[in-house]
Chains A and B, each alone.
Chain A
Amino acid sequence: MNKALTSLNTFFLILLFLSLIFSMFSVPNLNIDEAQSIKINFYELIQQDEKLFDSSAPNTSVEKETKKTSAINKKTNTDETSIISKFKINKLGIKNEITKIKLSKEREDILRVSAIIQERISSIWIKPNSLSESLIAKVLINLAPSGEILNFSLIEPSSNTSFNESILTAMNKMTFFEEVLSLERKLFEQNFRNFNLVFKSSGEIQ
C-alpha cells in the first residue's frame, strides 16, 4: 500500500515537473517595444493569438463559395451545412476584427500609462555618481485603483548599496500614479495592480 502511494506521489511529481517545463516553453518572454524599454510579456502572447484570428483567408473563401452556391442553385445537404458553417466563420472573423481593435487600444493604453510612469520615476531618481559596474534592481509595486501606492518592496536588490538606497529614496518620493485612473478597471487589475519597476545602470561613463 505504502509502495503504491509512493509511486503515485512520484507520478504526480513528474507530472508537475513536466507541466512546469511545458509552461516555461509555452509562454515566451517577449518585448513589446524595445525603444521605450517597456516589457509587457502578457500582451505579446495575445499578439500571437491575433495571428490565429487572421480572418482574410476564410473571408475570401466564403465569398467564393457564396457565388458558387448562387450560380448552381442546387446542392446536397452537406453543401448547405458547409455554407452555414462558413457563414459562422465569417461572423467569427468580424468578431475577431473587433477583438483585434479592442486589444490594440488596450495595448496602446498600457504603453501610454507605462511611459508616463517611466518618465515620472526617471525625473526623480537621482542615480548615484560614477557607477562603473552594470547594476540591476527590481521593485514590486502594489497600487490601489485610485493610483495610490499601497506598498513597494525591493524584491531583487543590486549588489551596490548606494544604488539600492537611491531607488528606495526615489520610491519614497512617489505617492500616486494617478495615470492609472484613465484605464479600464479590468486593464488596471490585469497589469497595474501589481507591477515591477526594473532599475538599470549600464555602467556607462556619461
Chain B
Amino acid sequence: MIKFLSLLFFLVSNSIFPVLEIEILKGSDNLSKVAFVPFGIESGIEENYGSQISKNIEKNMLLFGEFENLAVNEMLSYPSSENDFYYRDWKVLGVDYSLIGKVNSVNALGNLNISYSLFNINRRIKILEGEIVGSEDNIEGISKIISNRIYEEITGLRGIFDTKIAYVINSDADTYQMCISDIDGKNEQILFTSKAPIMSPDWSPDRKKIAYVSFENGLAEIFIQDLQSGERDSIQALGMTNSAPVWSPDGKSLALVVSFSGNPDIFLYSMNNKRLMRLTNHYGIDTEPSWSPDSKKIIFTSDRSGSPQLYEINTKSKRKKRLTRDGNYNARGRYFPDGKSIFFVHGNDGNFQIATKKLSSRYIETLTSTSLDESPTISPNGNIIIYATKDGSNGYLGGITLDGKSRFSLPVKSGSVREPAWSPLLN
C-alpha cells in the first residue's frame, strides 16, 4: 500500500514539475583515437613478433579510415600487462581506446600464445580481454582475428578484416583477369585469365565458389568456379545469353538474366535440380538482379517505364513494386544487410554516383562525390561501400563509410580494376 502510494506521489509530482530536457541529435565528426601499444614478449621469443602483431592490427583498424591512431613515439609508456597500465598516461594524450598485449610463449610446434586487453580510457574500464593461440607462420591471420574482436567491441558491428574481395582487372586492351584478394589487397589470386571480357563476379554464401560472366566463347556465359580446386563449370541455361548471376543468401538458387531473342528477363536457377524458372516477362530490359537478405525478394533494373529504374519482385507471388522515381537513371540496386535500405547507381546530368534509399522513405541520398561510379558492393557488416570509379582512363576502387566520415581508395593495382564484389562473412 505504501509502495503504491509513493509511486502515485512520484507520478503526480513528476508530471507537475517536468525536468528540462536537451536533445542531442548530432554527433562529432571526430574519429576515436586508438593507441596500439607494441605487444610485449616473454624472454626467448623472437623479438619482432610483438611489434609485428600490434602493427598489423593497427593497419587493419586504419584501413577504412574509421579510427585515428597514436604514433608509437608519442606514447608515454609501453605497458604489456594490466599491472603496468595507467589511464592518465593515455588520457593526457587524448586517447579513447588503448590496446596492449603480450606474446606469452611459443611451443615446439611453433604455436604462439598471445594475450591482449583493450581499455576505454574515458570510462577507465577494461572492455575486452582475450587470449589466442596461432602459428608463428600466420601472424597476419592472428592479427586479423584480434582486429575483428577489437572492432566489434568498439563499434558493435561484425569485424570484416578476414573478408575477401573479388574483382576484374583489365590490364591491357585485351587481357581480362578474374581475381580475388584479402580485403586489404594482400594475397591476390588470379582465378582466370581471358582475352574476352569478364563481368559480374559474385560469391557463394559459403565463400567457396565464385560465379561470373565470361565472353570467352563469343556469347555471355555464366561460369561457376570452385576456389579450392580451380574447376570451372558453365551453367547450361537456355536462351541466347546468360548474365548477371547472383547467389541467393541461402545458397539454393542463382538469380540471373536470360535473354531469349534479345529480350533479357530475370530467371531463377535452382542449384539442386538445375532448373530455370522465369520471374519477369516484359518486352523491356530486365537486368541486374540482387537478393534481399531473407532470400524472398529480388531487386532488379528495368527500363519498362522508359528509363532504367529499380523494381522489387517477390519470388513467390511475383508481385512487383517500383522502388525509384528520382531522375532518369537508377540502376545496379543492392539491399543493405538489414534489408531495410538499398544502394544503387544514380545518374544525374551525366554524373553517376552511389546513392542510398530507405525502403520506407521517398527520398534518395547520394553518397559519393566522384562522377563515374559503378558496381557498388557493401561490406557484410553494412558499414562500408566499395565501388569502381575512374581517374582519367584508369579504374580503381573507392570506398566510403556510411556515416560519411571516411572516404578512401583501396591499394592501386596495375591495370584498371572493375566490378568489385565483397565476400560474405565466414560464420
Contacts and interface: CB of A to CB of B under 8 A. Distances in A.
B19 interface: yes
Given A169-B120, A195-B19, A196-B21, A126 B27 contact: yes
Given A42-B17, A110-B20, A191-B20, A126 B30 contact: yes
Contacts of B401: 129-130
A118 B22 contact: yes
A11 interface: no
A169 B155 CA distance: 13
Contacts, number: 142
Given A128-B155, A160-B156, A169-B122, A194 B24 contact: no
A112 interface: no
Contact of B18 (A41, A168, A199): A41
Where chain B touches its partner, the secondary structure class is loop
Chain B interface extent, by class: 35 or more
B155 A37 contact: no
A102 to B, nearest CB: 19
A92 interface: no
A125 B23 contact: no
A117 to B, nearest CB: 6
A182 B365 CA distance: 42
Contacts of A154: none
Interface string A96-139: 00000000000000100010011001111111111010000010
Contact of A24 (B15, B31, B365): B15
Contacts of B238: none
Interface stretch (B5-13, B254-262, B314-322): B5-13
Contact of B403 (A130, A165, A197): A130
Contacts of B3: none
B19 A194 contact: yes
A122 B96 CA distance: 16
B383 A195 contact: no
Contact of B31 (A16, A23, A126): A126
Given A20-B8, A129-B401, A195 B28 contact: no
Contacts of B404: 206
Chain A interface extent, by class: 35 or more
Interface string A171-202: 01100000000000000000110111111111
Contacts of A17: 8
A38 interface: yes
Contacts of B21: 38-41, 138, 195-198
A107 to B, nearest CB: 12
B22 A197 contact: yes
B25 interface: yes
A38 B21 CA distance: 6
Interface stretch (B99-107, B289-297, B335-343): B335-343
A64 to B, nearest CB: 41
Interface in B385-414: 401-404
B20 A132 contact: no
Contacts of B96: 126, 169
B383 A23 contact: no
B333 to A, nearest CB: 15
Given A20-B11, A23-B15, A24-B15, A125 B24 contact: yes
A19 interface: yes
Interface string B341-366: 10000000000000010100000010
A82 interface: no
B16 interface: yes
B186 interface: no
Most buried by A among B17, B27, B28, B156: B27
A2 interface: no
B249 interface: no
Contacts of B1: 9
A41 B21 CA distance: 8
A137 B404 CA distance: 23
Contact of B383 (A129, A196, A198): A129
B20 A130 contact: no
Given A20-B11, A172-B123, A173-B122, A195 B25 contact: no
Nearest to A120: B24
Given A110-B20, A166-B27, 12 more contacts: A16-B8, A126-B32, A129-B157, A129-B383, A132-B338, A132-B340, A132-B341, A169-B120, A196-B19, A196-B20, A197-B24, A200-B23
Interface of B: 1, 5, 8, 11-12, 15-28, 30-32, 66, 96, 120, 122-124, 154-157, 336, 338, 340-341, 356, 358, 365, 367, 381-383, 401-404
What are the 5 A-B residue pairs with the smallest beta carbon separation, nearest first?
A162-B156, A127-B27, A41-B18, A37-B23, A172-B122
15 contacts: A20-B15, A37-B25, A41-B18, A118-B22, A118-B23, A122-B26, A122-B28, A124-B28, A126-B28, A126-B31, A127-B403, A130-B383, A169-B120, A195-B20, A205-B358
